[in-house]
Structure 1
């Protein structure tokens, strides 16, 4: 059977009625073909604490205003889901950017720089932000919300979209579209304003009722609702040390001449990517050397390294050790894994399951005794934890250190004073490591730091641990839960912070991650997240000459061929 190119698969499968199974109450509805899910929102709102923002149809995210073309299972999405929070946050960015243009002129562009906690830090380049400015923006957003305006999704030919954004001085978007394979681009239209977003937004402005804007630094912070209490905003806490690292990375980006994905892609095409890799790696080495010097100038004898999953802590600790050795020291590493309590003594979480990430899963008393003994110049027997038996064993390993042998301890609880409460604070040098991605897709679409980390972990887990992408996606929510509980609350306790993100790395990780993500089947709940990450990686051209990446690079911890043993 030959089918005209203009005929879509959905047209071939078209039928008068479709069957939708709503998972909220296990109810089925037979509805006309091309029914929109927004007509069911009122009926199913009682099953949700906050506003319904979108839906999941057969494990794909489905906008409420998009017609449904086939049978399927439906579950609505609210703020309690990460996807719902992303949609709300993205929609708030849309309203804010348009409010600024309406108030201060078409030439005023809002730029989303990075997250502060769960909220977003933004600036309007060339414009001073005052308290009065903030009030005006909030009032204008509120006006758009009260107008209950539709947000329309339109499809435009890629070349026309590029010309449109170039004519408006939004070259970041034109550069982004330039190397995309698709011939069309989906844009959002609100009033006479047309914007581009990677990901979905709400169908109407009236859904963005809860928000706040706080003046901060040279710009402002967009504050969204609390996912647990959607009728009020999240608390905003300043995190000055972490913010300073983001600012440092901005300076690095200026040095490298890279602000967004379009800049990276252009460098790949222009064959300038080797220079970018060399400069990015040199900046890392310079920072690690500076941290080593800061330790040398302190009174500390213990280096505690902490950070979230896949932040590159292990490679960082090995490279820091090399810098310390170059300064005449002889660092000694101690593994926190060897201080686990016997498995039957592991504390339980709220679901009654062993919580191996709890600080109380470690024998804190023994750990502190050993540290004190070592610092006093005593010989100490170090335990070994047998993961097969789940018990501590004593192998006769003895350790004694001199004053030129700092202890290097890497683990998620390194910044928590409870871990080393017997040791005076001045003897501890705390380092926080995280991949704080500053590279943006474009001015309004940021790359979350967690996206870089999950892609790193996915590649590493498949390459070295035999886990599929689906395994990693399934584990990730629990990993994030542990980070929120045990790592992030203590990050400002660090003496120094190291940003392990490399501006070029996603163009490398793309090569490894895409073949893994396409294997996630649409029968799995994680399918929508796999598709989101695939779409995200599609923005990047690939860096294929992996020989340009130094074997000491943090990226090697995830893609292989590192000089270090893990």
Structure 2
């Protein structure tokens, strides 16, 4: 017998050696809503078919937990891939990226995807779910797994596993369909309760349950501009011949890492230059842009982007002047509070909107104003004689999380504003059926920056991340489609460079802390990438904002 300590009810109980997590869940007579879908075993996430052979701490997860939802979505993706394989044996589906609260898929079946195709796939997925087919996980020597995928013509997985450096690898089966997923799956297809698949532009959108209320599906949010940014970068990746991490690793092993860095940086600079040209030429058409508003989520590289954009604006004969929203905070005691009773500094209403708009209007009408400074020690606004009057060639640059919110600048004429959304939209795929969450990219950037410049451990950054994400969902993401331009700050090679920075920091998260499971997941994920040294990274790179060595002042 072995002893299991259940974190869900703080009860310990003995079970036979080799008991599965599902046996253990039933043995504790637990009844978790929307679950269980997976579990933390000694703070590592495992599938419910995992068997225990030693004493363990176990915490069962449901779909409200981010790790649990990942397990659910991963399993749903496998069902989709099986349905496509069953219906179109010579076809191919690529699960490309999250968009519109779902997952965009590129279906290649020899003809344009029609509504009939979507209906057939959805019906086949329903049949697979109703049949309650078990997911099986097999582990064996990597060379054997590679041979298996090679016979199936799944070269994206072959390249990934061949370059992983692992002696043993695993794969999953769903009846006669085989696949690879980095993470746990549900015990069987019958665990899938809610899903939908709909036609979405020239591809498909896999719809998943709402993360707060899994009884309903996420609503489809219109994100045409976001989709176009993803597709533009996927096209660039395909031109470079680097669509997946396996492709990237092969290119690095063949000595092309420097070329990939140089081309990726050049593409970003070209995009920034095009945005600056768009701002300048709009002014030549009689619509005077006097205010550039830059928004984006945490660790998206907004600050470096605004500095590089300023250089390109100067190359167009304009004089950029940065305005910090932080200086327009209301006095501390007037700051709104969150549901816990703490000051909510991320709220739009933590800013003195009336005073801010009055100063902007005065500036746009040619008046001189005295800019404020916010004293974070006293929690009060101060004036230090910083006078500003804008001339014909001057353009104000305002960067902040609320920049695209219409309530921030309601009195400024639309023709005077140019709105830009910046985010790290990871476009390289792990393989054709495993996308890389954009939030992982930003979280890794933040872990490195917090450790290097703010003295925070990875444990602290991971612990705070859910509240950061909640603020983004409320104050940033709803307004991203308001942008005149979108800029993708993710670089094709950056996870390979961040790997050697992040893994030592992540290893310092103690095994007995709840944050260990996320630190472990990120570490294992980074190990798929070949290491790339940052010596070839230019000092103006957006990545330098997080790694250090930038030629910009922050």
- Report the TM range for the smaller structure's normalisation: over 0.9
What SS does structure 2 have at the residue aligned with 1:233?
coil
Deviation at 1:47, TM superposition (A): 4.3
Match of 1:59 among 43, 50, 56: 43
Asked whether the 8 Å contact 2:497–2:531 carries over to 1, the reply is: yes
Tell me, what secondary structure is at the counterpart of 1:110? strand
The aligned counterpart of 1:226 is 210
Contact 1:45 1:52 in 2 (8 A): no
Q: Secondary structure at the match of 2:408?
A: helix
Structure-1 separation of matches of 2:429 and 2:107: 16
2:250 paired residue among 261, 266, 290: 266
- Root-mean-square deviation (CA), in Å? 1.3
Query: d(CA) in 1 for partners of 2:81 and 2:124?
Result: 11
- Structure 2 CA distance for aligned equivalents of residues 332 and 45 of structure 1: 63
Shift of 1:237: 1.8
Cross-structure match for 1:403: 392
Determine the structure 2 residue equivalent to 1:353.
Answer: 342
Q: 327-336 or 340-349, which moves further after superposition?
A: 340-349
Structure 2 residue 518 is the aligned partner of structure 1 residue 525? no
Corresponding residue of 1:302:
291
Is 2:83 the partner of 1:103?
Answer: no
Displacement of 1:170 after TM fit? 0.8
Structure 2 distance, partners of 1:156, 1:219, is 35
Aligned partner of 1:453 in structure 2 is: 442
Partner of 2:146: 162
Residue matched to 1:79: 63
Which structure 2 residues correspond to residues 397-436 of structure 1 after superposition, within 5 A? 397-436=386-425
On the 8 A contact 1:129/1:219 being kept in 2, the answer is: yes
2:304 corresponds to which of 284, 303, 315: 315
* Mapped contact 1:49–1:230 kept (Cα < 8 A): no
Task: Find the residue that maps to 2:48 and give its secondary structure.
Answer: coil
Shift of 1:39: 2.2
2-side partners of 1:127 and 1:433: how far apart? 35
TM-score, scaled relative to structure 2: 0.97
| Cα distance in 2, alignment partners of residues 116 and 503 from structure 1 | 19
Gaps of 5+ in 2: none
In the TM superposition, 1:246-285 aligns within 5 A as: 246-285=230-269
Is 1:88 matched with 2:72? yes
CA contact (8 A) 1:415 1:491 kept: yes
- What stretches of structure 1 of length at least 5 have no aligned partner? 1-16
User: Which residue does the alignment assign to 1:178?
Assistant: 162
Asked if the contact 1:277–1:549 (Cα under 8 Å) also holds between the matched residues in 2, the reply is yes
Match of 2:11 among 17, 23, 27: 27
Deviation at 1:46, TM superposition (A): 6.2
- Does the aligned pair in 2 maintain the 1:346–1:361 contact within 8 Å? yes
TM-score by length of 1: 0.95
What residue in structure 2 maps to residue 4 of structure 1?
A: none
Does residue 378 in structure 1 map to residue 367 in structure 2? yes
SS at match of 1:230: coil
Look up the SS of the partner of 2:384 in the other structure: coil
> 3-state DSSP class of the match of 2:45?
strand
Distance in 2 (CA, whole Å) between partners of 1:55 and 1:177 is: 26
Contact kept, 8 Å, 2:15 with 2:24, in 1: the verdict is no
1:557 alignment partner, one of 527, 534, 545: 545
User: Counterparts of 1:322 and 1:45 in 2: how far apart (Å)?
Assistant: 63
Whether the aligned pair in 2 keeps the contact of 1:154 and 1:188 (CA below 8 Å) is yes
State the SS of the aligned residue for 2:299: coil
Q: Assess if the C-alpha contact under 8 Å between 1:21 and 1:27 holds in 2.
A: yes
Counterpart of 1:154 in 2: which secondary structure?
Answer: strand
Tell which deviates more after alignment, 318-327 or 135-144.
Answer: 135-144
Q: Which runs of 4+ in 1 moved over 3 A?
A: 40-47
Cα distance 1:454–1:186, how it changes in 2: closer, same or farther (>3 A)?
same
Paired residues of 1:45 and 1:51 also in contact (CA < 8 A): no
> Aligned pair in 2 of structure 1 residues 43, 413: CA closer, same or farther (>3 Å)?
farther
Q: Distance in 2 between matches of 1:540 and 1:532?
A: 14
Give, in whole Å, the separation in 2 of the partners of 1:364 and 1:46.
50
Per the alignment, residue 466 of structure 1 pairs with 455
Instruction: Give the structure 2 partner of residue 243 of structure 1.
Output: 227
Q: 1:242 to 1:29 in 2, by over 3 A?
A: same
Conserved? CA contact 2:101–2:219, under 8 Å: no
Equivalent-residue separation in structure 1 for 2:328 and 2:170 (angstroms): 53
Deviation of 1:197 (Å): 0.4
